[in-house]
Amino acid sequence: MGLAQYADNGLFAPKKIADAFRTTSEEIARTAGLGKDAVQRRERVRSDKTQRRLREMVEIVNKVEPRFGSALMAYAWYRSEPLAGFSGQTAMQLVREGRADEVLDFIDAVDAGIYA
């Protein structure tokens, strides 16, 4: 699914992301390391931090979706699969710590055959 599928009026929309992943906006907030009000209050949804975290999560899920065959399976991987070299942390845990770039680099390395 393209990034535009998750957006509304040029912003990442928690409700659209939640619908795509068959969950709630509140769960999307927790998954991205945000508070519940970050996805419920209009001014918080528009904030740089909220948009950055939502973008990071969506970019990672989008990047691994072809490998899993669906956005839902990619989202499950994002939340639950420990990544090699990150002390058993998942992509979700790393994003919540502000380490999304490391996850994206890891995915690129796996795709290049560096990690098997």
One pLDDT digit (tens) per residue for the chain, 116 residues: 577 888 888 899 999 999 999 999 999 999 999 998 888 888 889 999 999 999 999 999 999 999 999 999 999 999 999 998 999 999 999 999 999 999 999 999 998 888 65
Q: Containing domain of residue 17, as a range?
A: 3-111
Tell me, yes or no, whether 39 lies in a domain. yes
DSSP string, 45-105: HTSHHHHHHHHHHHHHHHHHHHHHSSHHHHHHHHHHPBPTTTTT-BHHHHHHTT-HHHHHH
pLDDT for residue 1: 54
- pLDDT of amino acid 93: 96
**pLDDT reported for residue 9:** 84
* Collapsed DSSP state (helix, strand, coil) of residue 6: helix
**Looking at the domain assignment, is residue 116 inside a domain?**
no
Q: What is the number of structural domains in the chain?
A: 1
CA 15, CA 115: separation in Å to the nearest integer?
A: 35
Does 74 reside within a domain? yes
CA atoms within 13 A on the CB side of 33: 18
- 80 belongs to a structural domain: yes
